[in-house]
Structure 1
């Protein structure tokens, strides 16, 4: 009976999701319904649910998952800091003389925002409000312009740091541990979020390059789709303006991503740095005073310099006079950083920005963790009904071995992307198929990056692509929904091409982690 119930359980989940009811309730309700049916027919042991409380506790106390609310806070705060507006205006004037220059500037800004915010909705809405009217005003094809904005907005899911990579890293790590235990290995090798960040960096940058090459090629072949800006509309952009627009996001990217890839900080510690930096940048937009940013930069530079030259550990009896002086200097730098951050928090609180960011962060974080808990319950019942054995047998019997199984899984994830978003796919599908695929001696980082690139297409595929809805909500009335769908189709194809390149050439995903982490 269990062999029938597990199939019915997954089919019921897929049908229920199409109703539009909140996924967390569908996951939980489906699990409870089929758990009760399995118990009634003797195919499920309720004692298995005893593993649920420890798993929930492990999820809520996971140090890695603490990075999720911090990265969400950072992204929403940066969206409120209006950093995207400065970037779009400056890059638009810089590339305006080139055919397709506005499209290229949108892709460049999308990549920079992806590496600093990682929030797809905010990026698409901001560029839809600012870039789309400018592109239409300069006779860009509506479909091409919409596709460019939607595709650039989704880069936050593959270019680290991103929330989906944190979730995916935790799930892939757990799946890899299960795979090793199933193979009889008890000296377990783990996969960190930092390794997954490193693995996704080159494919993400490659995707940006593919977008830009396509935009330049289509503008050259069909000048009517993306003409250059008229001379009087370009204006001049000075080096100072370029530096003023690029410096804040680049400094934040180096501080957050550089500290993770350099092994200086964990993703959670780097996310905290990013949240503090985003708050300082928001305060920069709210007040003409520049001293908080200067004090913060000087304090951080002082702390990094002192930490690299001296042993700053406290409570050591054998500390030299120079080390004691360095500790006092580090304390002064910490006080300066606290002063600057306190000023930024007070300013954002008084203007109402901090409260709005905190509410949005709480809502998004609660949604993600609730789905993680619901997916945990679903996975427990599904496994209790023998679903993992059914999936294992199905994947193992496919022709082509590991390559055939991965191809089927990628096709299934792409198909689910038409109806589910990335979080739902990651927490429902990967715990089921991940341990089975990784038992086939597949590199977990490469597999994780393939999933991340594939999941990115879920934002662009109709009818439920989130980027399409975000842009539809802010696009002018003359832009038809059909034009948006037509415009994103080539970019979906480009993402699938990037997926194929990464699949055929695994070093794109494995080379950088091996260099940085010795893996």
Structure 2
């Protein structure tokens, strides 16, 4: 019976989270209750918790995680500077000749916002407020419009600089070193955030192309685009003027990482500074706005690090009850070996994505299953990209997808929830197709990092 305590811990913490309690307190509180009961019954050694101060101090010293508040600052600053509105207007001007030009504009602007901000909730809400009324007016059905907006809003999960990839990179690096030490490799290699950023470029571009193809082939609005009084030359000039600054910012952030001129943390600083300059250039920077951005950044960063502390307590108690050995024996004993274990882990992460945010899954689930899968031979970059796309898919899947909740909060009452559910189904199929492609051709995620960093 004692060997099943780790499983019971995991189930209890999921139930507590579903009851609506704060994530960080749920993780640490559940773990400490189990630890106290285990200590009283002689099934848990409190010496495991002696490692907690060193673990937390190591988190504070981790320079990689400094990228989190910097990327969040960059994303919030760009959100507050009316970047999305100008981008959508400019892209709609460029694609005015296409019957589904507005839908294509939403996809492409969503991709640019994902590469600029990396914040899913902000992108979905922003695009919903700006583009949903216009799309409905132009003859897009409720399901078509909401499906496009939800799907493109979640691109921030996979297109760098993604906060999810930043957190996954740090956790997978520790898991990879742990896996190598378990195999007797005492000079372990590391997987960096830069590896995941580079590895996500090709899958992210493939996903955007597949979205665009679907919109062109299968979505035909009932009302054609209205004529624009501006000449084509004026429209192109206006579009380039609005598109150039965010594209330069994206190139500065990702280009500095790809060229090796800056670490991801340093590139995040460049992005935060560049976003501030862009807001100043657009005359959207004021003391009040800067205070709003700083407050939002502090709130998100505090949430991330508090969850990280709770996850550290949970993982130590989980390990003290023999949870790692239980997971290792279970996964290695599954039929199908590595393939069977990977499919099961991906299914569990997909289902957990209904009720847990990507931060909780990254901090709680990945440290448990990551070392086992990596020791069995999985490439850490491929695993990180697959987890990110998997979570992106669960964000879209009815009835619990977070992107659906975000859009439901800003969509008009005339848009029914069932229409939103119906609209995202084709895009879920596209993302599952991408995961299948990555499974058949892992080089889609691993070739570019190997080319650049080897």
CA contact (8 A) 1:421 1:465 kept: no
Is 1:249 aligned with 2:249? no
Q: Write the distance in 1 (CA, Å) between the matches of 2:372 and 2:231.
A: 57
2:398 is the counterpart of 1:462: yes
Q: Give distance in 2, aligned partners of 1:157 and 1:67.
A: 16
CA apart distance, 1:461: 2.3
In 1, Cα distance between equivalents of 2:143 and 2:228 = 22
Aligned position for 2:74: 74
**Structure 1 equivalent of residue 302 of structure 2:** 366
Distance 1:416 1:407 in 2: 14
Q: What SS does the corresponding residue of 1:286 show, helix, strand or coil?
A: coil
Aligned counterparts of 1:66 and 1:234: Cα–Cα separation in 2: 47
Output the CA distance in 1 between the equivalents of 2:56 and 2:190: 20
The CA RMSD over aligned residues, in Å, is: 1.4
The TM-score normalised by the length of structure 2 is 0.97
Partner residue of 2:256 out of 259, 280, 289:
259
- Distance in 2 (CA, whole Å) between partners of 1:24 and 1:492 is 30
Output the CA distance in 1 between the equivalents of 2:438 and 2:230. Answer: 40
Which structure has the bigger radius of gyration?
1
- Find the aligned partners of 1:161 and 1:486 in 2 and give their Cα distance: 30
Question: Is the 8 Å Cα contact of residues 97 and 231 (structure 1) preserved in structure 2?
Answer: no
d(CA) in 1 for partners of 2:249 and 2:417? Answer: 36
Would you say the 8 A contact 2:93–2:239 is kept in 1? no
Number of residue pairs matched? 452
The match for 1:329 is none
Alignment-derived partner of residue 20 in structure 2: 20
Cα distance in 1 for partners of 2:21, 2:429 equals 30
**Does 1:271 find its partner at 2:271?**
no
Paired residues for 1:98-497 under 5 Å: 98-219=98-219, 223=220, 226-227=221-222, 229-232=224-227, 236-237=231-232, 238-286=235-283, 348-349=286-287, 352-497=288-433
Counterpart of 2:20 in 1: which secondary structure?
Answer: coil
What secondary structure is seen at the aligned counterpart in 2 of 1:66? helix
Q: Is the 8 A contact 1:422 1:458 kept in 2?
A: no
Q: Is the 8 A contact 1:146 1:487 kept in 2?
A: yes
Cα distance, 1:418 vs structure 2: 1.4
Could you list the structure 1 runs, at least 4 aligned residues long, displaced by more than 4 angstroms after superposition.
233-237
Q: Tell me how far apart the structure 2 counterparts of residues 372 and 412 of structure 1 sit (CA, whole Å).
A: 21
User: Over residues 478-500 of structure 1, what are the superposed CA-to-partner deviations in whole Å (9 max), with x where a residue is unaligned?
Assistant: 11122112211221221111111
Determine if contact 1:3/1:385 at 8 Å carries over to the other structure: yes
In 2, are the aligned partners of 1:100 and 1:216 still within 8 Å (CA)?
yes
Consecutive unaligned residues of structure 2, counting only runs of 5 or more, are: none
Partners of 2:138 and 2:271 in 1: how far apart?
A: 36
Pairwise CA distance, 1:140: 0.4
Match of 1:328 in 2: none
Alignment-derived partner of residue 52 in structure 2: 52
